[in-house]
Structure 1
């Protein structure tokens, strides 16, 4: 596989993670992590998960269930591939509705370490660093995702 193909597969994995988050598809989280992986989020979330893909998926499901609504957007990603390992840096925007607040707007940076497995590229480590957070009341209304027919 060429470097461009690897970079494309890694970007697709990052986008899949975001789709898992937005759809709250914890079963699909199993497909994005390597064995013995970790995922760490800075405050205000301030949680860390590690273990098998299934363990991280279960922990992610618990974290997502905290929010009444949460939508994430990947703004841009830079990827560096070195053989069967890679690093990626993605800027992320999140908007959500925690149960005890009227709003949540977050701009952050995800620093990823990835590894090529027999099943493709997987996250070995994800670190989410909050760069800006605003808990002001949101003026808009959350709508449910449409379902493919």
Structure 2
């Protein structure tokens, strides 16, 4: 693999991870599910969830998102190890939000990933979520519910 191809692959995998966060924050279930291969798995062992394939992923998040009053996820770059048309990696996550029932959640976690190059670009074949710290102390803040005057997808 050329050095240029390695740079391109790393950039595209980083963009895939960014799309995951953006699709989640923008509550776009179709885009979110499309980031996984047909046999892709999303694991969240802390809530005993294992979803296989885009259809299961789309259906589950369609049920989960309405439970949240608001949810924020910030992802920080981690590692990427390339191996031809596959790769592994990690990214580091901070999340917080409040459920509609008033319960709060804040955590720091790691995504352990496996990726595959497809005709549509890099996709997740596995995304396993490991919480390292969780806090259910009530969040003091609140979401700003005023309409935002500009959305980047309207440009």
TM-score by structure 1 length? 0.90
1:48-127 counterparts in 2 under 5 A? 48-51=50-53, 53-127=54-128
Determine the C-alpha separation between the residues in 1 that align with 2:19 and 2:138.
Answer: 29
Q: Give the equivalent residue in structure 2 for 1:26.
A: 29
Is the Cα contact below 8 Å between 2:116 and 2:122 reproduced in 1? Answer: yes
Going from structure 1 to structure 2, the CA distance change for 1:66 and 1:46 (only over 3 Å counts) comes to farther
Is the Cα contact below 8 Å between 2:14 and 2:77 reproduced in 1? Answer: no
Per-residue Cα deviation, 1:66-86 (whole angstroms, up to 9, x for no partner)? 222111010222111100000
Q: Give the equivalent residue in structure 2 for 1:2.
A: 5
* Structure with greater helix percent: 2
Cα RMSD of the aligned pairs, angstroms, is 1.7
Determine the C-alpha separation between the residues in 2 that align with 1:47 and 1:143.
Answer: 31
| Gaps in structure 1 of 5+ consecutive residues | none
1:40 Cα deviation after fit? 0.6
Determine the C-alpha separation between the residues in 1 that align with 2:78 and 2:36.
Answer: 18
Determine the C-alpha separation between the residues in 1 that align with 2:108 and 2:87.
Answer: 23
Is the Cα contact below 8 Å between 1:11 and 1:77 reproduced in 2? Answer: no
Q: Give the equivalent residue in structure 2 for 1:138.
A: 139
1:16 Cα deviation after fit? 0.4
Per-residue Cα deviation, 1:24-65 (whole angstroms, up to 9, x for no partner)? 11121132110111101131x3322112x2332222222222
| Gaps in structure 2 of 5+ consecutive residues | none
| Larger-Rg structure | 2
Determine the C-alpha separation between the residues in 2 that align with 1:109 and 1:86.
Answer: 17
TM-score by structure 2 length? 0.87
Per-residue Cα deviation, 1:94-140 (whole angstroms, up to 9, x for no partner)? 01112334421010000011100010000001000010000001111
Determine the C-alpha separation between the residues in 1 that align with 2:110 and 2:43.
Answer: 12
